[in-house]
Structure 1
Amino acid sequence: MTGVRVTHVGGPTSLVEVGGWRILTDPTLDPPGRRYAFGWGTSSRKLVGPAVSADALGPIDAVLLTHDHHGDNLDDAGRALLPTAGTVLTTVSGAGRLGGNARGLAPWSSMRLERAGLPTIEVTATPCRHGPPLSGAIVGDVVGFALRWESQQHGELWISGDTVLYGGLREVADRVRVGVALLHLGGVRFPVTGPVRYTMTARQAVELCRLVRPRTVVPVHYEGWKHFQEPRPVIEHAFARAPDVHRLVRWLPIGTPSDLEI
């Protein structure tokens, strides 16, 4: 087992298949058209539905939920799926709200996914800041996830989560050897809060990649929602201006399984 199969379902949602495990990130599975409120006067409309429906996903062994309180990371259909998954890993506060099979991880704490006949996967929560300094009390807790298993040759699978570039991500560069990075981009902002960003811009992603030095970079969380301000062409332009990063980028066709070395 030297690779991982990733299906970008849309938005932040990806299906990760490795060694018999089927792991889903941030399930957003509602149809398009609805407007979702995110609190403090912010809201957004979902423009595109999932490339793979909830019914077509098949059984899910674990859900990695970066945060539960925003509809662009967990919508109604995604929430309905959670009880059917073996384990839901999320923030400590989110696990308290969800209950049931949800388990909370504070940044840099870990939990193992274990099952007879399957490789053990160690999941470590990584820091996120979903907005400007001191915004945590308003936007709430978010975590990323680093996944490690024995056969990895180039490093761990890292899901950044919804975050801007800040000191906590620089810790990832110091503490995690990243093989494949699923980066939540989109440069999210809202009219009511002006120029403030709530996820990484492409320029921040370039800086982050130079710090973390992953072998492969997979952009996610850049399409399908009104509040995503940097779609693929903007991201591609920024990456093209940084050849050292551009050569690392792998755009996954949405809805189609892709095999990645790790």
Structure 2
Amino acid sequence: MSQARLTHIGGPTTLIEVEGWRLLTDPTFDPPGRRYAFGWGTASRKLTGPAVGIDELPPIDAALLTHDQHADNLDDTGRAFLPTARTVITTVPGAARLGGGAVGLRPWSVHTLRTNGRPPLEIVATPCRHGPPLSSRITGDVVGFALRWPGQEHGCLWITGDSVLYDGLRQVGARFDVGTVLLHLGDVRFGVTGPLRYTMTGADGVALCSLVRPRTVVPVHYEGWSHFRQGRAGIEAAFSDRPELSWLDLGKPGTVPV
């Protein structure tokens, strides 16, 4: 059985190793303690550092950056790391801001990684909405990524990105057979905007997975920052009768069937 090796480093940052490819999602490697402004009166403090140091990473073929405008997805150390990756794939506005040959993808567009001795790896950008309706002008563009390659037995590997539950996410299940989903959760809220949510709750994750029907659900980006309102206990309660939930111990590689 073919497998992917996943190492959850902290927050959204996950090392994905599959078919000889090494991918890193949303690099965040700053130490804890600092408060970061996110704009429009919102801010958050980083509470925990990475479980794997940036100098412990293997060579990275592609950095998959769901968005560059928030420090909990790309901090200063992560930004300095980006030029060491062979390819950086992100949103279209993000690629323009980063420069350096970064690849910008709109939802449903595709970039394929190719090299001798490995199967081609197709990276499909998937929709996100990082907040309530009409919030994109404030929160900015975000994408997720669906990874496909020849010989997959259990469906694509999908990174949802930071998003609330809305029709764009639901469309993924209609377009792809999803084997494993790295599910961005955390119920992000800020005092200045009251009850408005900017990422999914555990209950939202259950609703999404009921439609998409992944075989394995790996929660990420639910801890380590002060703006998260729901941690592991709340996610476990929401998924209490869902056998597909799978946790990764921070810094320790785990495997999922692909």
TM-score range, shorter chain: over 0.9
Verify the 8 A CA contact 1:86 1:101 in the aligned structure 2.
no
- What's 1:57 paired with? 57
Q: 2:248 aligns with which of 231, 234, 252?
A: 252
Counterpart CA distance in 1 for 2:58 and 2:30 is: 16
Structure 2 unmatched runs, 5+ = none
Unaligned runs of 5+ in 1: none
What corresponds to 1:95 in structure 2? 95
Cα distance in 2 for partners of 1:196, 1:53 equals 34
- What are the within-5 Å matches in structure 2 for residues 160-179 of structure 1? 160-179=160-179
Amino acid at match of 1:249: L
The residue that corresponds to 1:198 in the other structure is 198
CA distance in 2, matches of 1:172, 1:221: 20
2:56 counterpart SS class:
coil
The amino acid of 1:122's aligned partner reads E
Residues 215-226 of structure 1 aligned to structure 2 (within 5 Å): 215-226=215-226
Please list every run of at least 4 consecutive aligned residues from structure 1 whose deviation after the TM superposition is greater than 6 angstroms: none
User: Which residue of structure 2 aligns with residue 212 of structure 1?
Assistant: 212
Separation (CA, whole Å) in 2 of partners of 1:117 and 1:36: 42
Alignment partner of 2:157: what SS? strand
Aligned to 1:154: 154
How far the C-alpha of 1:19 sits from its partner, in A, is 1.4
Q: Give SS of 2:53's match.
A: coil
Q: Which amino acid aligns with 2:198?
A: Y
The alpha carbon displacement at 1:58 in A equals 2.2
Partner of 2:71: 71
CA distance in structure 1 between the aligned counterparts of 2:24 and 2:224, rounded to whole angstroms: 18
Correspondence 1:84 to 2:80 = no
Give SS of 2:95's match: helix
Task: Measure the CA separation in 2 of the matches of 1:188 and 1:142.
Answer: 15
How far does residue 101 in structure 1 lie from its aligned partner after superposition?
2.9
Once the two structures are TM-superposed, the CA of residue 91 in structure 1 deviates from its matched residue by 0.2
**Distance of 2:54 and 2:101 partners within structure 1:** 19
Contact 1:83 1:101 in 2 (8 A): no
Which position in structure 2 is the counterpart of 1:38? Answer: 38
2:131 aligns with: 131
TM-score, length-normalised on structure 1? Answer: 0.97
CA distance in 1, matches of 2:170, 2:238: 20
Question: Within 1, Cα distance between the matches of 2:145 and 2:36?
Answer: 25
Aligned to 2:6: 6
Q: TM-score, normalised by structure 2?
A: 0.99
SS in 2 for 1:55: helix
Per-residue CA distance 1:124-180 (angstroms, 9 max, x = gap):
000000000000101000000000011210100000000000010111011011000
Q: Distance in 1 between matches of 2:58 and 2:174?
A: 36
Letter in 2 for 1:46: K
Q: 2:255 corresponds to which letter in structure 1?
A: D
SS at match of 2:37: strand
1:43 Cα deviation after fit:
0.3
Cα distance in 2 for residues equivalent to 1:81 and 1:220? 21
Q: How many residues align?
A: 258
User: How far apart, CA to CA, are the structure 2 residues paired with 1:31 and 1:136?
Assistant: 29
State the percentage of identical aligned residues: 66
Q: Distance in 2 between matches of 1:61 and 1:34?
A: 29
State the 1:80 CA deviation.
0.5
